[in-house]
Amino acid sequence: MILAAGTPAPDFRLQATPDQQLRLSELRGRPVILAFYPADWSPVCGDQMALYNEVLPAFAQSHATLLGISVDSAWCHQAFALDRKLHFNLLADFEPKGAVSKAYGAYDEDTGTSKRALFVLDGDGRIAWSYLSPTAVNPGADGILDALDRLGG
């Protein structure tokens, strides 16, 4: 089970680039979207991240920060983001493998990857909305946008 609405979001520090880290608590005071996904370069994940890249202006209207998270390395994320022209951070839940995914209940022990899970956090760092999508299904952005609207963004 992924973490439910009302739960404090576990803090974390992950690689955003090969030489930079990002701590979730640094983003307090504004909504944060966490998009856990199985792997860079997979067809559904590529489509999902491309869609979020297109929807970034709508997320920005709510002052929300989008973070993609998978167990791929920072180097893999860097190549994927460059190839797909992504304009948001992809965080490497690489070592210890899947530790952040596990903290959010979004780790698939069978495949060793993150599940396709979405979380919208409020400015106080609490989960306002969460959703677990089937792995083979792009969850889209409607649920995220509805959750941001409910936050008053």
Residues 112 and 98 sit within 8 Å (Cβ to Cβ): yes
Q: Out of 2, 24, 33, 45, which one is annotated catalytic?
A: 45
Measured in residues, the chain has a length of 153
Which of 53, 39, 55 has its CA nearest to residue 136?
39
Interatomic CA distance for residues 83 and 98, integer angstroms: 24
**Would you call 129 helix, strand, or coil by DSSP?**
strand
Residue 45 known to be catalytic: yes
User: How far apart, in whole angstroms, are the C-alpha atoms of residue 92 and residue 90?
Assistant: 7
Distances (CA, A) of 146 to 56, 143, 150, 152, 153: 14, 5, 6, 10, 10
Query: Residues with Cβ < 8 Å from 113, sequence gap 6 or more?
Result: 38, 39, 70, 71, 98, 107
Positions marked catalytic: 45
